[in-house]
Amino acid sequence: MDPELSSLPYPEGKQGAFSLTFDDGITSQLERAIPMMNDCGLRTTFYLGLGGEDWEERWAPWREVAASGHELGSHGTTHMCSRVLRDHLKARSLEDCTLAEMEEDIALAAQRLRQLVPQQRDTSFAYPCYQTHVGEDHNRQSYVPIVAKYHIAGRAGRSELANHPLTASLACLSSWGGERAWGPTLVGLAERCATEGKWGIMNFHGINEGHLTVAEVDFAELCRHLQLHSDRIWTAPVAEVARAFVDWREAQQLQ
Ligand SMILES: [Zn+2]
């Protein structure tokens, strides 16, 4: 534990926290990731894009996922990213977007998420493409305050840092990309969180699927490790760890 800390925000005996997050609701998450995590007793967060006329029908199978203890989070309704990630100017991008438009997007997604999983007290948000701004250059503005208004936590990216209980910005949390990662690398990151008393967040998309894939064998190695060491490493959904941080911070101030 960090010598600066006299206690940690984690449940009894746990030295650090780890969240395995999945974006975009793709098939291999339902077919591969969820059965593997359920077998190992691990719960996590799935970020769903809540746009389109058919959002309710599209995400109906995920209600069962939430009922088994996983968190469903918001990935907005438009998945708007910076144009620098594309080689054309045809689609709207964060550079063309205003804060008011972004708030409309985030508020609508938050309302739909509440409809989908009304039992979830706290909800979290994943920034599409890990980007946290609208506009560009002299007009560039952060939309982190909007995420903070609607959600207990926001998962940004990508950084070498894990989130420290005292200093982490809950609406702009650091995360690591898990795509193409080797099993021992993933295990090492989880162990580093336990050693440092921090909260690490991994981002995944597909398991053996898509261009941001992680191999099933590597993901399985991570899940087995987290199961075997669940006495020390707290694997939990993002909103749940964020709530523990909020409560712990409040308790520290009362002392
Ligand atoms: Zn996405």
Terminal-residue alpha carbon distance, the chain: 20
| Cα–ligand 1 centroid distance for 2 (angstroms) | 34
For ligand 1, the distance from its centroid to the CA atom of residue 69, given in whole angstroms, is 22
Tens of pLDDT, residue by residue over 149-186, are 999 999 998 777 899 999 999 999 999 999 999 999 99
| pLDDT at position 254 | 56
Spacing, Cα 215 to ligand 1 middle (Å): 19
pLDDT of residue 211: 87
CB atoms within 10 A of CB 53: 7
Token readout for 78 is: 């438009």
Our CA angle for 10, 11, 14, nearest 5°, is 70
- Whole-number Å distance, alpha carbon 54 to ligand 1 midpoint, is 18
CA of 162 to the centre of ligand 1 (A): 21
The residues pairing with 134 across neighbouring beta strands, listed in sequence order, are: 141
What pLDDT is stored for residue 52 in this prediction? 95
Name the CATH code of domain 16-254 (choices 3.20.20.370, 3.40.190.10, 2.40.30.10, 3.90.1150.10): 3.20.20.370
CB count, 10 Å around CB of 12? 6
Distances (CA, A) of 83 to 77, 92, 94: 18, 8, 7
What is the 130 CA–ligand 1 centroid distance (Å)?
Answer: 8
Quote the Cα angle for 48-194-1, to 5°: 130
Rounded to whole angstroms, how far apart are CA atoms 75 and 78? 8
3-state class (DSSP) for residue 88: coil
The answer to whether residues 18 and 200 touch, using CB atoms and an 8 Å cutoff, is yes
Calculate how far, in angstroms, residue 121's C-alpha sits from the geometric centre of ligand 1.
23
CA 52 to ligand 1 centroid distance, Å: 15
Q: Which helix (H) or strand (E) element contains residue 113?
A: helix 99-116
Domain ranges of the chain: 16-254
Cα-to-centroid distance, 79 and ligand 1 (Å):
6
Decide: pTM greater than 0.85.
yes
pLDDT, tens digit (0-9, with 9 covering 90-100), for 178-224: 999 999 999 999 999 999 999 999 999 999 998 899 999 999 999 99
Task: Provide the residue-wise pLDDT of the chain in tens; the chain has 255 residues.
Answer: 666 778 999 999 999 999 999 999 999 999 999 999 999 999 999 999 999 999 999 999 999 999 999 999 999 999 999 999 887 887 899 999 999 999 999 999 999 999 999 999 999 999 999 999 999 999 999 999 999 999 999 999 877 789 999 999 999 999 999 999 999 999 999 999 999 999 999 999 999 998 899 999 999 999 999 999 999 999 999 999 999 999 999 998 855
The kind and range of the H/E element at 220 are helix 216-228
Contact 146, 172 (CB under 8 A): no
Burial class (CB in 10 A: 0-12, 13-18, 19+), 167: exposed
How remote is the CA of residue 24 from the centroid of ligand 1, in Å?
5
